[in-house]
Every structure is written in structure tokens, then in C-alpha cells.
Amino acid sequence: MTRPLVIATRRSRLALWQAGRVKALLEARHAGLRAELLALSTSGDELREASLASAGGKGLFVKELEAALADGRADLAVHSMKDVPVELSPGFSLAAIAEREDPRDALVSARAASLAGLPAGAVVGTSSLRRQAQIAARHPALEVRPLRGNVETRLAKLDRGEYAAVVLAAAGLRRLGLEARIRAYLSPEECLPAPGQGALGLECLASRADVLALAAALEDAGAAACVRAERQVSRMLGGNCAIPLAAYAERAGERLRLRALVASPDGRQLARADCEGEADAPEALGTRAATLLREQGAARILRALGA
């Protein structure tokens, strides 16, 4: 490109870090390429107390960035894959699924080194129904309350004593240099991650063959296979924030292991799936996991949620 490649990003410190990382990788892969960031505020960032599910879902974090792509202010957008709707708006393309950080959830607390170590009635903050349901299922004596805001805002609420502990994505803490705040990583057995958690997604207009070619250099085949399998589970089950749904794939050679879960918000009903398949057919594996979930009771849970 003869002009700088403009990369749209949210304004949060984490989003700016992620976009800066993509900028550096693209400039390193493509000699002579110059890129610059366009920081935008999104509807999701402006939410203070309302849940994503009640306010419109994950699309709140991407629509302003897509508007910048559509009107030519930006060429490429960088997202956290867990914030990207499973169905993109018409005319847009997921150009690449780039490197993935640790996909696990993490416990941050000054009072205990594990959720099991918190006393009965202790207040735990989380931003997702997925975490809420799994914490409630394993630790019913704890009180789980909503927690909104960026990483720094959530940590500040913890430090003010509003919560005994908070559960955040490990990837965000690590990328921001806040790994020292992590008291414990939650294993997938304790809290199965969200589809795409920890992975970066690059989006552009489907008509921009030049940008698609540039972004393709950052595709991480292993991460992409896992994320595509995880997202297919969400797609097959409705793919919205109102469903406490988790999906986590791991690659070993040419095989994928995919674990998935659907729960009622109170954690009293859970459906689980654990299956394996070929890494080159991730969507087929995701479809199979969704079918298994329905057979294990997910259909009943989804009906109760109106999904």
C-alpha cells in the first residue's frame, strides 16, 4: 500500500495493546508497510452497569469499528475473538485469527488463592453469565455479582473492597503486564473458557482483497482451528450473550479435543460435551459437540432461557 494501513481499535488500554501488537506483526511481515491506529469508542465500552445480554450482545464491541471499515476511515479492525459475533455483518470478512494468549480464566483476590478458599457469602465479581453459572455450580455458597468495565475498572472495584475476588480473562491481565495480580489460573475443569477467549481476530471488508492478503500472513493455523470449532458450538446453539455457554478446543497434532458446556444461569442445570475430531474440519467437530450438548439436556436449558 502506498499509504498507511489504518487499523481500527477500541480505546481501552487492552484493545490498544492488541492493535499495537497486530500493527508490529504486520509491519514485520510486510517490508515497507506502514500502519497506524484509529482508536474508537464503542457502545459496549460506554456501558457502565447494564449487562451485554440486555443491551444487545457482543456486537456492541464491533459495530463502530465496522462502520469505520465501511466508510473508508479504516482498512482493518482488531478484535478480541470472544467479542466477535458468530455471524458477521454482510459485506465483512474475518481475515485472520491470529495468535492466542492463555485462554483460561484467572482469579484475582487479596483474600484467597482459590475460589474454594473464600468464605461462605463472599462476593465474587464477573462480567459473564458463563463464569457466573460455573462458579455457582461448583461453589454455591459464594455470592456472584455482575462486574462491568475495562480491566483497570474491575480491578479498582476489587481494590476498593466491593468484591472479595474477581474472575477475569488471563489473557487480558498478561497482555497488560498484570500477571502478578493473578492468584490462580482456573483450569478448564473448574471454569471452561468462552469461545475464542485469548485469540485476536482481524476483520475487513470482504471486497478488500489487498487487506485480506496482508492479514492472512498473521493467521495462526492452530489457534484458528480451535477457535473455529469453539465458535461453531455457539453458532449452532444461538450464539448470544444470554446463553451461559463455554467451549474450549485443544490441538494435538492433526486432532482437536473440544469440550463444551451449556448451563442455567444459577448453575443448577448443566449439559456437557467432550469429543475429538480432525483439526482440518473444526466446524464439523463444533456441530457434533452442539448436538451432544442438546442430547445431554442443553435443549431444555435453552428453552427455559427463551433461546
260 pairs with which residues across the strands? 247, 273
Burial of 279 (C-beta count, 10 Å sphere; 0-12/13-18/19+)? buried
* In a domain? residue 146: yes
* In a domain? residue 226: no
* In a domain? residue 149: yes
Output the pLDDT for position 74.
Answer: 98
CATH of the domain at 235: 3.30.160.40
Q: Is residue 109 domain-shared with residue 93, that is, in the same domain?
A: no
Q: Is residue 56 domain-shared with residue 203, that is, in the same domain?
A: yes
Output the pLDDT for position 285.
Answer: 98
* In a domain? residue 225: no
* In a domain? residue 274: yes
Q: Is residue 128 domain-shared with residue 245, that is, in the same domain?
A: no
Give the separation between CA 162 and CA 122, rounded to whole angstroms.
10
Output the pLDDT for position 77.
Answer: 98
Over the chain (307 residues), what is each successive 10-residue block's mean pLDDT?
A: 93 96 98 97 61 55 94 98 94 97 98 97 95 97 95 96 98 98 97 98 98 98 98 91 92 97 95 98 98 95 85
* In a domain? residue 191: no
- End-to-end CA distance of the chain: give it in Å, rounded: 45
Output the pLDDT for position 45.
Answer: 56
Count of structural domains within the chain: 3
Burial 84-97 (b: 16+ CB within 10 A, else e): bbbebeeebbbbbb
Output the pLDDT for position 180.
Answer: 98
Q: Is residue 212 domain-shared with residue 85, that is, in the same domain?
A: yes
- Which amino acid makes up residue 226? C
Q: What is the pTM of this model?
A: 0.92
Name the active-site residue from 83, 102, 105, 220: 83
Give the separation between CA 264 and CA 180, rounded to whole angstroms.
33
* In a domain? residue 224: no
Give the separation between CA 203 and CA 35, rounded to whole angstroms.
15
Q: Is residue 112 domain-shared with residue 175, that is, in the same domain?
A: yes
Give the separation between CA 193 and CA 246, rounded to whole angstroms.
6
Task: Write out the H or E segment, with its range, that includes residue 250.
Answer: strand 245-252
Output the pLDDT for position 286.
Answer: 98
* In a domain? residue 194: no
Q: Catalytic residue at 274?
A: no
Q: Is residue 22 domain-shared with residue 57, that is, in the same domain?
A: yes
Give the separation between CA 245 and CA 261, rounded to whole angstroms.
6
Domain that holds residue 287: 231-305
Q: Is residue 91 domain-shared with residue 109, that is, in the same domain?
A: no
Give the separation between CA 126 and CA 136, rounded to whole angstroms.
12
Q: Is residue 210 domain-shared with residue 94, that is, in the same domain?
A: yes
Query: Quick one: which of 133, 85, 77 has its CA closest to 105?
Result: 133
261 pairs with which residues across the strands? 246, 272
Q: Is residue 19 domain-shared with residue 75, that is, in the same domain?
A: yes
Q: Is residue 164 domain-shared with residue 112, that is, in the same domain?
A: yes
Q: Is residue 203 domain-shared with residue 159, that is, in the same domain?
A: no
Q: Is residue 203 domain-shared with residue 73, that is, in the same domain?
A: yes
123 pairs with which residues across the strands? 143
Q: How big is the chain, counted in residues?
A: 307
Q: Which residue has the cell 455470592?
A: 143
Is 135 within 8 Å of 114 (Cβ atoms)?
A: no
Query: Quick one: which of 233, 277, 238 has its CA closest to 256?
Result: 277
Give the separation between CA 17 and CA 37, rounded to whole angstroms.
11
CATH of the domain at 214: 3.40.190.10
The HSE-up count of residue 278 (CA atoms within 13 Å, CB side) is 3
Determine how many CB atoms are found less than 10 A away from the CB of residue 144: 24
